[in-house]
């Protein structure tokens, strides 16, 4: 997403500037010979994760509901595309189970007051961001257990640790994912498998673009002001996070020195949760 303030004069342009462009390669992490399954891999954080894991040497299975983006990303990283709607539980068995790394990144958002929130949409978001990760854990953990090694990275959110108004489904789902991740960490530890959450604040993704428009409608403000005055209001670092920054943390969690790190939630939020 590019803010309408980008390139404008004055301090707000500096506050909303992008992070310096960087490489997705994470020093010290070699995943050659490993296989990763990344959900939501067609765009945003999921795409950045697919690229970063491939750069680290892993074979990446790119799962996304959008056929065009799944195939494009898979082709760009030398991986395998899987077109799948994860709100449908019956779709999970069609994904590969013999993976070493599972990255649950698929997500969606809907912004509305609780009294106006569509029940069907609330339930859909729970299926996508809680039920699907649960089913994928059931699907992939047996292989990880058998080989005595595995890594699960759940792309949660600062909203798995904090709440914001008008996001009841998303906040509930991310809090649920946090609990699921901790239970999985406890159960999987004896098998050499870790399970952690990464908790980004607002990331420069298509999902956030949609949130900006929705928040503008809810608050009755200009979309350009939502970034500075709503999204970044509680962040100490006044810029959107880049997808590559989140992906780098996900890859690092699968590196050689993180076997004792499990059941954790790692904020990548510019200081939001420090307040």
pLDDT at 14: 35
Give me the number of domains the chain comprises. Answer: 1
pLDDT at 66: 98
SS3 for 32? coil
Encoded tokens for 154: 């759940």
SS3 for 151? strand
Examine residue 58 and state whether it is found in any structural domain, yes or no. Answer: yes
H or E stretch at 54: helix 44-55
- Kindly state the average pLDDT of the residues 116-141: 99
Instruction: Give the C-alpha separation, 73 to 31, whole Å.
Output: 19
Instruction: Give the C-alpha separation, 18 to 20, whole Å.
Output: 6
| pLDDT, tens digit (0-9, with 9 covering 90-100), for 134-189 | 999 999 999 999 999 999 999 999 999 999 999 999 999 999 999 999 999 999 99
Q: Is 202 a catalytic residue?
A: no
5 has a pLDDT exceeding 50: no
Examine residue 91 and state whether it is found in any structural domain, yes or no. Answer: yes
**Cα R_g (the chain), whole angstroms:** 18
Range of the domain at 113: 29-204+241-267
Residues 6 or more apart whose Cβ sits within 8 Å of residue 77 = 50, 51, 54, 60, 62
Q: Tell me, what CATH number does 249's domain have?
A: 3.40.50.720
Examine residue 8 and state whether it is found in any structural domain, yes or no. Answer: no
Encoded tokens for 254: 């699968």
């Amino acid at each position: 997403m590019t803010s309408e303030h980008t390139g404008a004069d004055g301090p707000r342009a500096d506050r909303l500037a992008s992070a310096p462009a960087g490489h997705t390669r994470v020093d010290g992490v070699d995943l050659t010979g490993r296989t990763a399954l990344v959900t939501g891999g067609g765009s945003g954080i999921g795409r950045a994760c697919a690229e970063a894991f491939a750069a680290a040497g892993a074979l990446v299975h790119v799962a996304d509901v959008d056929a065009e983006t799944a195939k494009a990303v898979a082709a760009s990283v030398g991986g395998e595309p899987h077109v799948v709607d994860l709100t449908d539980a019956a779709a999970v068995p069609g994904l590969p189970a013999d993976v070493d790394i599972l990255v649950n990144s698929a997500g969606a958002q809907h912004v509305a007051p609780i009294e106006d929130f569509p029940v069907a949409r609330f339930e859909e978001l729970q299926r996508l961001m809680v039920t699907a990760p649960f089913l994928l854990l059931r699907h992939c953990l047996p292989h990880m257990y058998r080989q005595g090694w595995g890594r699960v990275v759940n792309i949660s959110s600062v909203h798995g640790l904090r709440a914001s108004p008008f996001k009841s489904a998303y906040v509930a789902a991310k809090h649920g994912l946090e609990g699921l991740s901790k239970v999985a960490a406890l159960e999987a530890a004896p098998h050499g498998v870790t399970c952690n959450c990464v908790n980004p604040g607002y990331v420069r993704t298509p999902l956030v673009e949609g949130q900006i428009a929705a928040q503008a409608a809810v608050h009755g403000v200009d979309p350009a002001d939502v970034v500075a005055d709503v999204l970044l209001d509680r962040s100490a670092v006044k810029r959107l996070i880049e997808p590559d920054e989140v992906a780098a943390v996900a890859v690092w969690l699968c590196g050689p020195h993180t076997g004792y790190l499990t059941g954790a939630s790692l904020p990548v939020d510019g200081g939001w949760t420090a307040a």
